[in-house]
């Protein structure tokens, strides 16, 4: 998808701006893990070291990134583990409808299970052939190409399986619960 096709109300920005709330966390490999918890099929919790996550088969996707405050940056190539792989390794209970993606310092974003399970949703480790930089989410970030940027936590640490919806960090602060850029779902006041 090139610069010709921007979602409504977005403006093209050069390069790759950095946008987040709070400080950039430090990666401590000995303490780091990726967890899956909540309503798993067996009730078990799952945990992977960064080495284990990196050993999972990865795919590459190309995407633009749309910040809900307006800027769109183009030409991103992300490499990482498909979210669908995580759902296979850690099956959710049949009644799971949503997930919460948790990052360092308690940042969170809620997603419909179908958005998380989308073929292009990625737990990304690399961008344009290089390991992610600290400010862009190293060692792991979620990329949900079909939603606004706030739905993709940088410094991802856990996925919580939920049997009902619950709002994440920006969703509690006035951002739209779904966040589809193509229908301009920016603000919570637009929700039915």
Q: Which stretch binds ligand MTE (CB under 6 A): 17-25, 31-39, 87-95, 176-184?
A: 17-25
- Residue 124: both structure tokens together: 């990304």
- Cβ closest to ligand MTE, residue 39 vs residue 107: 107
Per-residue binder mask for ligand MTE (CB under 6 A), 53-92, x = binder? ------------x-x-------------------------
With CB under 5 A, what is the number of residues at the site for Mo ion? Answer: 4
Dist CA 74 CA 71 (whole Å):
10
Q: Tell me, letter by letter, the H, E, C secondary structure of 30-72.
A: CCCCEEEEECECCCCCEEECHHHHHHCCCEEEEEEEECCCCEE
The angle subtended at Cα 94 by Cα 182 and Cα 169, nearest 5°, is 45
Decide which of ligand MTE, Mo ion, none touches 21; Cβ closer than 5 to 8 Å per partner kind.
Answer: ligand MTE
Largest CA-CA distance found in the chain, in angstroms, rounded: 46
Going by C-alpha positions, the residue among 149, 154, 157 that lies closest to residue 185 is: 149
Contact 154, 136 (CB under 8 A): yes
Q: Closest approach of Cβ 69 to ligand MTE, in Å?
A: 7
Residues 89-118, interacting with ligand MTE (CB under 6 A): 103, 107
The single residue among 6, 56, 59, 67 that binds Mo ion, judged by CB under 5 A, is: 67
Decide which of Mo ion, ligand MTE, none touches 17; Cβ closer than 5 to 8 Å per partner kind.
Answer: ligand MTE
For ligand MTE, the binding residues (CB under 6 A) are: 16-21, 65, 67, 103, 107, 136, 149-150, 152-155
């Amino acid at each position: 998808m090139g610069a010709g096709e921007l979602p409504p109300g977005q403006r093209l920005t050069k390069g790759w701006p950095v946008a987040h709330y709070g400080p950039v966390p430090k990666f401590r490999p000995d303490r780091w893990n990726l967890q899956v918890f909540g309503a798993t099929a067996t009730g078990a919790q799952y945990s992977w070291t960064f080495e284990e996550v990196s050993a999972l088969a990865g795919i590459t996707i190309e995407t633009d990134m749309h910040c809900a405050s307006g800027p769109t940056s183009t030409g991103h190539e992300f490499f990482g583990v498909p979210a669908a792989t995580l759902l296979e390794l850690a099956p959710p209970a049949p009644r799971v409808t949503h997930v919460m993606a948790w990052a360092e310092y308690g940042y969170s974003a809620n997603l419909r299970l179908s958005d998380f399970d989308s073929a292009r949703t990625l737990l990304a480790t690399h961008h344009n052939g290089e390991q992610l930089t600290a400010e862009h989410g190293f060692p792991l970030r979620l990329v949900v190409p079909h939603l606004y940027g706030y739905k993709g936590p940088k410094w991802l640490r856990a996925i919580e399986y939920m049997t009902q919806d619950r709002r994440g960090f920006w969703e509690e602060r006035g951002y739209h619960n779904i966040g589809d850029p193509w229908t301009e779902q920016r603000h919570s006041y637009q929700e039915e």
